[in-house]
Chains A and B, each alone.
Chain A
Amino acid sequence: MAGGSSINVLEQFELHPVLGGLGEALRFSQSPLYMIIAVCLVLAFLYFGMRPAAVVPGRLQAAAEVCYEFIHNMALDTIGPEGAAFFPFVFTLFFFILAGNYIGLLPFSFTFTSHIAVTLALALMVFALTVVVSFKVQGLRFFAHFMPAGASPFLAPLLIPIEILSFLSRPVSLSIRLFANMVAGHVMFDIFASFVIMLAGFGVVGDVFAIGPIAINVALMALELLVGVLQAYVFAILTCIYLREAVAH
């Protein structure tokens, strides 16, 4: 960036092979490694949380139950009675993204949700599911949604392409929202952290002023903890909203 020292704020998003020669041969980068870690963490949390299966839950079991009920209620409230069928999918999505966002906040780790390839794959999965469910539930009446009710037939050549484009833009906006939030947060971390290093080069005065960027980074960490759960929630709730439209008759 600035100040002569070459600090590249986007360097943290670069992929490198991990696990030595094996990773090199398999083109195995940090991204899938941290995905596996995220999945293992979520599974371990649920397994060890629910293993006691006590009537009066302990702390970990209470946390697991709260997580389960939170997504369960969200799926049923948003989608309706049919939501029970989609609950496992929404639960998986939410906790995979949440774990990815939070693991990325640890030092020396990698945020796989900061890659558009990952978020777009997740969003396209949601999109494909909604299209399949729409066709299964509504059949060919699915296409009737592309003509707004009550509009003049003369406007159809204009309105139908716009509606179709609006529909097709869903996975793009879903993926860009998550990816942009994660990238922006981590770039800000990097920028303020590099300010600290630059100020440290100015002697005692710099050391004193470096407290400012450090304080900002602490506040940013709090913000990122909020953003991490919020973006996972937004992703899950939008999935639920799209599925509600798909199962509506």
Chain B
Amino acid sequence: MSKEKDESFDARLKAAERRNGLVTQDTSTSPEADADKPLATLALRAGTEMLSALIVGVAIGWGLDHWLHTRAVFLILFALLGGGAGVLNVWRLVRPTDET
């Protein structure tokens, strides 16, 4: 929340500076900011995180089933756990603070 406010303040400050000719060019072109800004990029990243956790869960479940000859028990279990891990990944991506 406060980070968003800071960003909007920074953006307005930069716009005002540019208007008054204090800075000639925009210096805030850090790729990280560019990477996070477009919503489509964030959505794509979130989708990748969700999907990859599911893939890992399904792969482990399928492998365990194959190995132990238990049809679909581990597949169901690990698909659910993979979905949970996917949600966790997405939450880590979009949560406000950056502490681990």
Contacts and interface: CB of A to CB of B under 8 A. Distances in A.
What does DSSP make chain A's interface, helix, strand, loop or mixed?
Answer: helix
Interface in B79-100: 81-82, 84-86, 88-89, 92, 100
A72 interface: no
B59 to A, nearest CB: 9
A165 interface: yes
Contact of A180 (B48, B85, B86): B48
A229 B56 contact: no
A82 interface: no
A176 B48 contact: yes
Interface of B: 31-32, 34-35, 44-45, 48-49, 51-53, 55-57, 60, 78, 81-82, 84-86, 88-89, 92, 100
B85 A169 contact: yes
Contacts of B88: 162-163, 166
Nearest to B30: A233
Contacts of B60: 165, 168
8 contacts: A162-B81, A163-B88, A165-B53, A166-B92, A173-B51, A173-B53, A176-B51, A233-B35
**Which of A165, A237, A245 has most chain B Cβ within 10 Å?**
A165
Contact of B52 (A173, A226, A229, A230): A173
Contacts of A230: 31, 34-35
Top 7 nearest A-B pairs (CB, nearest first) are A173-B52, A165-B85, A172-B52, A169-B53, A166-B85, A169-B52, A162-B84
Contacts of B56: 165, 168-169, 172
Interface residues of A, number: 23
**Which of A161, A162, A166, A233 has most chain B Cβ within 10 Å?**
A166
B62 to A, nearest CB: 14
A234 interface: yes
Interface in A209-249: 226, 229-230, 233-234, 237, 245, 248
